Structure 1
C-alpha cells in the first residue's frame, strides 16, 4: 500500500512540475510561481550591478540564494520523476537522459554559477528559455514549435541564402582590400579587415570605424550597400513566408472536433490528445472516423492498431455523419 501511495505521490509531483493544463490549478500555479522566481532571479542579478544600490547587496544575495534553492529543489524533483517523463526507459537510464537533455543542461548551467562559476553569471539568463515553454499561442500550438518547424522546413533555402551572403562577403572584402590597401594601409592591413568592413556594410549596420576614401572604394561601397539590402531581405522573406504558411496551415487544421460538421483536417502536434494513441482509441473516445493519415508525405491506411504520431495530419469526419 505504501508503494502505491509513493507512486501516486510521484505521479502527482510529476504532473505539477511539468507544464500544467488549464484544468489543473495547482500545476498552473506552479508554472506561474516558477516564472515569478525566474524573473526575480534575473532582476536581482541586474540590480546587483548598480553601484547606487550597493547598500542592498546583502538583500540581493539573500533573494538570489532563495531563488537558487527553488531551482535546486525543482531540478532534484525533475531528476526524481524522470522515469515518468521517459516511461519507455528504466529509471536510471531515464534520469541519465534527462540530465543530458536540453532542459536538464539548461537547469544545471543556471544553478552552477551561484556555487562554483561566479564569472559565468550570464548562464542564468538561460532560465528565460523555460519561460518560452509556458506561453502558448493557443491550446495546441505554441510559438516555439512554429519557429522550429519553419527553420526545419526552410532549412535548404536558408542555407542557400547564407551561402550567397558568404560569397558576396568574401568578394567584397577582397575587392575593398585591393582598392583601399595602398591608400589606407593601417585601416585595411589584410583581407580580414576587408571582411569586417564587408560584414558591417552588407548587413546594413555601417559602424563607420573603417570606410573607403578612394573613388573606386566609394563606388564599390555604394554597390555593396545596395546589394546588402537585398541580401538581408532574402532570408527574411524566406522565414516570413514560412511563418505565413505555418499560420495558414494551423488555422485550417487546428480546430476542435465539435467544429467539424463534415470531413475535416486535424494536425497532430506534440500537445495533441491524439498523439501516441491508436486509431481505435481515438475513434472510440472522440466518436470520429479517421479516413486517412498523412505522414511525412505518405498516405497511411488508418487500421485500428496504427499509432498516431506527432505531425500526422488526420482526415476525419464525425461519427454522427457516419451513421446518417
Structure 2
C-alpha cells in the first residue's frame, strides 16, 4: 500500500500526473496565482486604494494559507523524489528548500508572516507578492524550458554579459573624458556617463544625453557599431539554446516512441506513458502524431522492404484520389480514363 507521503509527492509532482486530484490541484493553484497577480495590480488603482477594500486582505490571507500548506507538503514529501540528493530525511529536505522553485515558494509567503511578527513597517515588501507569478514555472513547459536553457547556457551568457559590462565601462570612461569639459553637468562622472553608454549600446537612444564635441561624436559612432553584435550576443545564445533544447525534447520523444514500437504495437500502458511524456516535454498533439507516424512508417519500411513500402504508398495515394508521384488530387473518372487508354 502506498504511503501518504509518497501519495502526496505523486499528487504534487508536475511530471507524474497519474491522479485526477493532482490535475485539479494544479488548475486551482494556477488560477489562484493568476488572481493574486491580478489583485496586486488592481490594488495600485487610485479608486480602489482610496476605498481600502477589505476583500483584498482576506483574499491575501486565504492565498497565504494555501501556499503555506503547499510549501509544507512539498518539503515533507520531497524525500520521496527519485533524486538521490533528496533521500536523506534532514539534508534532503534542506537541499530541496534551497532549490530555486522552493525559494520562490518561500519568498512569496514570507512577507506576510514577517509583517505579523515584526513591528517594522514592511509594506515595501508587498511587492514581493508579484514573485508569485514565477510559481507558474512549475506548471508551464515553456517556462521550464526557459529555466533549462538558462541553466545550460549560464556560463556562455555570463561570459557575454561580462564582455558587455567591460565594454560599458570602457565606453562610459571614453565619453566622460571627451565630453566632461563641454558638458560638466551631464557627464559629471563616469557612473553618470554609464547611463548614456547603456542607452547608446542597446540602440534605445532616448536623446536626453548626447555628445556635442567632435571627439565625443566619433567615439559614439565607434561604440555604437561595436556594440551591435555584443549586445545581441546573449539573445543569440538564448535562441540557440532554445533550438537545441527543443530538438533534444523531440529526440527524447522519438526514442520513447521507438521503444514502444519494439513489439510492433502500442498498448494502453505505452499510450498513457507517451501522453505523459508528451505533456512533460511540452510537445503538441499534432507534433507527437507526426513523430509517431514517422516512426511507424520507418519501422514498416525496415520490415517489408523499400519496394513493398513504396507500393503501399502508391496504393494508399490512389485510394485517396491522389497522384502517387505529384500528390495532386485527381478525379476518379480521369483516373479510369487514363488507365483505359494505357491498356
TM-score (normalizing by structure 2): 0.65
Q: Establish whether residue 111 from structure 1 lines up as the match of residue 109 from structure 2.
A: yes
TM-score (normalizing by structure 1): 0.68
The answer to whether the 8 A contact 1:21-1:28 is kept is no
Q: Establish whether residue 32 from structure 1 lines up as the match of residue 32 from structure 2.
A: no
Aligned residues: 258
Give the aligned partner of residue 241 of structure 1. 240
The answer to whether the 8 A contact 1:113-1:119 is kept is no
1:39-95 Cα deviation digits (max 9, x unpaired): 112211221222212336111111111111111222222233233236763433333
Give the aligned partner of residue 76 of structure 2. 80
SS at match of 2:166: helix
1:179-228 Cα deviation digits (max 9, x unpaired): 11111111112222222211221122223332212232223223322333
Q: How does 1:1-324 map to 2 (within 5 A)?
A: 8-19=3-14, 21-53=16-48, 54-55=50-51, 57-85=53-81, 89-116=87-114, 117-136=122-141, 143-255=142-254, 257-259=256-258
Unpaired runs of 5+ residues, structure 2, are 115-121, 263-275, 279-298, 303-343
Provide the rounded CA distance (Å) in 1 between the counterparts of 2:40 and 2:181: 49
Q: 1 or 2, which has the higher helix percentage?
A: 2
Pick closer, same or farther for the CA change 1:173–1:30 going to 2, 3 Å.
Answer: same
Pick closer, same or farther for the CA change 1:19–1:122 going to 2, 3 Å.
Answer: same
How far off its partner does 1:120 sit? 0.9
Larger RCO (alpha carbons 8 Å, 6+ apart): 2
Provide the rounded CA distance (Å) in 2 between the counterparts of 1:161 and 1:16: 40
Provide the rounded CA distance (Å) in 2 between the counterparts of 1:93 and 1:31: 27
After TM superposition, the structure 1 stretch with the greater mean CA deviation from structure 2, 176-185 or 101-110, is: 101-110
How far off its partner does 1:34 sit? 0.8
The answer to whether the 8 A contact 1:82-1:91 is kept is no
SS at match of 1:164: helix
Larger radius of gyration: 2
Pick closer, same or farther for the CA change 1:64–1:183 going to 2, 3 Å.
Answer: same
Provide the rounded CA distance (Å) in 1 between the counterparts of 2:153 and 2:65: 41
Unpaired runs of 5+ residues, structure 1, are 137-142, 263-270, 274-317
Provide the rounded CA distance (Å) in 2 between the counterparts of 1:94 and 1:170: 43
| Two-structure CA RMSD over aligned residues (Å) | 3.2
The answer to whether the 8 A contact 1:161-1:235 is kept is yes
Provide the rounded CA distance (Å) in 2 between the counterparts of 1:176 and 1:20: 53
Give the aligned partner of residue 309 of structure 1. none
Pick closer, same or farther for the CA change 1:45–1:207 going to 2, 3 Å.
Answer: same
The answer to whether the 8 A contact 1:173-1:192 is kept is yes
How far off its partner does 1:27 sit? 0.4
